[in-house]
Copies of this chain bind each other. A is one copy, B any other.
Amino acid sequence: MSHTVGELARLAGVTVRTLHHYDQIGLLTPSGRTSAGYRVYDVCDVDRLQQVLLYRGLAFSLEEVASLLDDPDVDAAEHLRRQHRLLTEQLDRTHQLVAAVEKEMEARQMGISLTPQERFEVFGDWLPEQYAEEAEQRWGDTDAWAQSQRRQTAMSKQDWLDVRCETDDLEARFVAALADGAPADGDRARDLAEEHRQQITSRWYDCPPEMHACLGRMYVEDERFTSYYDRIAPGLALYVSTAVVANAERRG
C-alpha cells in the first residue's frame, strides 16, 4: 500500500538521493511521514514518479516536468497522448541516425566520402538551407575529405584489402548478370543481392532484408552511390537496387 524511500527507489530503479532531491525541489513530495520522520510514498506518488521519469527520459528539465505535471488544464489522457507523440518523434530521430550510420558504412566500403553537412544534418536542430549551402561550398572539395578519411581509417590494411576483394568480386558478377540480360528481379540477380546482404551481415552488422531494402533504395536516390555503380557499368545502380529490393520482398 505504501513505501519507504528505499523501496520506491528500488522499484523505480533510481537512487534514494534522487527521491530526496525531488522532495527538496517539490517535484515529488511524499504524501506522508511516519512519526520518526520517515518518508511515506503512496500509490499516487508512485504514479507521479513514473510520469516524472518518463518525461525526464525525454530530456525535459525537472522544472519543466513539474510545470507539465502540475498544469491543471492537462489531464492524464493528454499526458499519455503527448508522451506517445514525443516517443514516436524520438523513434524517428534515432531511426535517422541509424540510417546515417548505415550510409556511412556503405560509403566507406565503396571508398566514397560523405560531406560534413550530410553527417551533421541528422543531429536534430539542424541548419536552415542557408547554412547547408554555405557548407556545400566550403566542403565541396571532396579530395581533402577523402584524404582525411583515409588517414583516420585505422582499419587494418589486410582487412581493407579483403573487403575490396570481396566487393569487387561480387560487383563483377553483378555486371556479368546485367550483361547477360538476366532480369534484375530474377533468381540470379536476387541471389547476388542476398550474397551482398550476407556480406554486410558478416562484415558490419546484422542486416535483415527490410534494412537491406533501405540501402537498395539509397543506391538510386543518392547521386553519389548511383554514380559509383554506374561508373562500373551503365545501369548497374538501378540493377543492383532493384535486385536488392526484390530479394528483400522474397525473404520478407
Contact = CB atoms under 8 A, between A and B. Distances in A.
Contacts of A11: 116-117, 120, 127, 131, 135
Interface in A147-166: 148-149, 151-156, 159
A126 interface: yes
Given A13-B123, A87-B98, A155 B50 contact: no
Contacts of A72: 154
Contact of A13 (B83, B120, B148, B153): B120
Copies of this protein in the assembly total 2
A55 to B, nearest CB: 12
Interface in A53-100: 53-54, 57, 72, 74-77, 80-81, 83-85, 87-88, 90-91, 94-95, 97-98
Interface of A: 1, 3, 10-13, 42-44, 46-47, 50, 53-54, 57, 72, 74-77, 80-81, 83-85, 87-88, 90-91, 94-95, 97-98, 101-102, 104-105, 108, 116-117, 119-120, 123-127, 131, 135, 138-139, 141, 144-145, 148-149, 151-156, 159, 204-205
23 contacts: A1-B144, A3-B138, A10-B131, A11-B135, A12-B123, A13-B120, A13-B124, A13-B125, A43-B116, A50-B119, A50-B120, A54-B97, A74-B154, A75-B156, A76-B108, A76-B153, A76-B154, A80-B101, A80-B108, A81-B204, A84-B98, A84-B204, A85-B205
